[in-house]
Amino acid sequence: MNSMFCRCGQRFLALPSSAVRHLSTDSTPPRVLITGGLGQLGRSLASVLRKTHGNDSVVLTDIKKAPSDVLSAGPYSYLDVLDEASLRRTVVEERITTLVHYSALLSVVGESNIPLAMKVNIDSVHSCMQIAQEYNLRLFIPSTIGAFGPHCPRNPTPDLTVQRPRTIYGVSKVHMELLGEYFQASRGLDFRSLRFPGVLSADTPPGGGTTDYAVHMAVAAAKDRPFECNLRPDTRLPMMYLSDCVRATVEMLTAPADSLRLRTYNVTAMSFTPEELVAEIRKHKKDFTVTYKPDPIVQAIADSWPEVFDDSGARNDWGWNHEYDLSRLVRRMLESAAKYH
Catalytic residues: 169
Nearest to 34 by CA among 82, 120, 97: 97
Q: Report how far residue 19's alpha carbon sits from residue 13's, in angstroms, rounded to the nearest whole number.
A: 12
**Contact between 317 and 262 (Cβ < 8 Å):** yes
**Contact between 174 and 71 (Cβ < 8 Å):** no
Q: Report how far residue 286's alpha carbon sits from residue 293's, in angstroms, rounded to the nearest whole number.
A: 22
Q: Report how far residue 59's alpha carbon sits from residue 35's, in angstroms, rounded to the nearest whole number.
A: 9
Cα angle, residue 267 at apex, residues 261 and 268 outer, rounded to 5°:
155
**Contact between 23 and 54 (Cβ < 8 Å):** no
**Contact between 147 and 167 (Cβ < 8 Å):** no
